[in-house]
């Protein structure tokens, strides 16, 4: 092939990426969507996978109201605009799939099949494909076709009820539990497992990531504690839900907060020592005294500012730390030194996690909606006149 062959250039980039990153030889195609899929794709991309995102022509690129270009979850994506309702558009996707390792979609059950891009359709084109699909309720079951959001999936799975004060309704867990924890992270885990098994079988498979299943999985330890009698099904009466005076947050004099997590006895002793409290008067596991002890500790922490308490506990193994806002975390000197937060392409954002000792972390530029259509089509072997024809027929954008 000539030096100007776009497919040869792409293979060279892929080889270089495979040598430096964990998933550099993995090609992921995903459909633009909300919720768990962008997060799963971000995790795979952060580990080096090449991401091609299929955008819907004529529809502004946005994820949950955030312009696509400003969303760190799309870092490093290449976007191609394809109208999957048109036969020519579907043909472009099938050509992409023939060269892909992973395909991810987050549509309602049956929607992909109606477009002719369901698992049977794509695995027929590429039997080695790992087809990942994320939904709220799963591909089957009584609620499979019902709409919902993070709070619904997490609520039904038991992940919302334990959160918050016992004298108020449960608190929404942002959209961290279902969208990202039980959805996107589990989808990425399933994809990695399927890729690993493909090395043995030579064949792909379908990953069915239901957010309700993932949230239920995240509560596994609590179910074990419940069965052992170490947890009550009443909010605000347990070790980890704010009832214990040594595992909760406290307000400070300046309106800040400190997080106290002194569960183990050695950490609890250090907590009491730092506060100048007599251990004989502060038994740790007498639950009848937890409300009173929490009230007294609240008064203690309210007597100083957050910065003053940070100085008190600096260097102590008392498991007491400041509670930072999102903006404070992003600008924290400590977290910046660790590399937990970075500035990529002008956007402050969390760095890829976890870290691998022999795999590089590659800075990923922000993505653009439908920003690489011609480049990707050329790599797929479409000549310029065919690309122009696809655009004229509005199959691509």
Among 379, 372, 367, which residue's Cα sits nearest to residue 396? 372
**How far is Cα 242 from Cα 264, in angstroms, rounded to an integer?**
16
| Strands of the sheet with 50-55, listed across from one edge | 78-81, 50-55, 27-31, 102-105, 130-135, 206-210
Q: β-strands 341-344, 257-261: how paired?
A: unpaired
Q: Residues 25, 121, 149, 345: which is the catalytic one?
A: 149
List the beta bridge partners of residue 111: none
**Coil, strand, or helix at residue 64?**
coil
Within 8 A by CB and 6+ apart from 192, the residues are none
- Quick check: is 285 catalytic? no
97's enclosing H/E stretch is helix 87-98
Q: What is the DSSP string of 237-251?
A: SSTTTT-STTEEEEE
Distance of CA 92 to the CA centre of its chain: 29
Among 135, 156, 138, 86, which residue's Cα sits nearest to residue 115? 86
**Coil, strand, or helix at residue 111?**
helix
List the beta bridge partners of residue 131: 103, 206
Within 8 A by CB and 6+ apart from 149, the residues are 136, 175, 178
**How far is Cα 373 from Cα 369, in angstroms, rounded to an integer?**
10
Assess contact for 263 and 239: CB atoms under 8 A: yes
Q: Residues 55, 83, 101, 179: which is the catalytic one?
A: 179
Tell me the catalytic residues.
149, 179
């Amino acid at each position: 092939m000539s030096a100007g062959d776009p497919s040869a250039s792409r293979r060279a980039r892929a080889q270089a990426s495979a040598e430096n990153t964990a998933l550099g030889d993995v090609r992921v195609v995903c459909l633009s969507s909300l919720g768990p899929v962008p997060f799963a794709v971000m995790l795979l991309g952060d580990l080096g996978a090449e991401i091609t995102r299929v955008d819907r022509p004529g529809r502004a690129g946005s994820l949950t109201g955030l312009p696509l270009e400003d969303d760190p979850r799309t870092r490093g994506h290449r976007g191609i605009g394809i109208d999957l309702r048109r036969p020519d558009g579907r043909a472009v996707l099938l050509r992409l799939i023939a060269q892909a390792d992973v395909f991810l979609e987050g549509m309602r059950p049956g929607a992909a099949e109606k477009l002719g891009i369901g698992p049977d359709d794509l695995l027929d084109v590429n039997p080695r494909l790992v087809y990942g699909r994320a939904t709220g309720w799963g591909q089957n079951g009584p609620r499979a076709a019902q709409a919902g959001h993070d709070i619904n999936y997490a609520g039904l799975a038991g992940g919302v009820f334990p959160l918050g004060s016992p004298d108020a309704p449960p608190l929404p867990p942002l959209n961290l539990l279902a969208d990202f924890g039980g959805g996107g992270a589990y989808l990425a885990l399933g994809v990695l497992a399927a890729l690993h098994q493909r090395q043995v079988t030579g064949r792909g498979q379908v990953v069915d990531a239901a957010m309700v299943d993932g949230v239920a999985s995240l509560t596994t330890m609590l179910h074990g504690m419940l069965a052992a009698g170490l947890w009550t099904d009443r909010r605000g009466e347990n070790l980890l839900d704010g009832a214990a005076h040594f595992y909760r947050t406290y307000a400070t004099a300046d309106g800040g907060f400190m997080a106290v997590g002194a569960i183990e006895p050695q950490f609890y002793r250090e907590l009491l020592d730092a506060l100048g409290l007599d251990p004989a008067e502060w038994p740790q596991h007498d639950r009848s005294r937890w409300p009173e002890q929490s009230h007294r500790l609240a008064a203690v922490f309210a007597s100083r500012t957050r910065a003053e308490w940070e100085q008190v506990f600096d260097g102590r193994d008392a498991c007491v730390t400041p509670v930072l806002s999102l903006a404070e975390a992003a600008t924290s000197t400590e977290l910046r030194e660790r590399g937990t937060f970075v500035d990529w392409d002008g956007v402050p954002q969390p760095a890829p996690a976890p870290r691998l000792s022999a795999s590089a972390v590659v800075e990923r530029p922000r993505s653009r909606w439908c920003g690489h259509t011609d480049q990707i089509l050329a790599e797929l072997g479409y000549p310029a006149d065919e690309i122009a024809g696809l655009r004229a027929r509005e199959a691509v954008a």
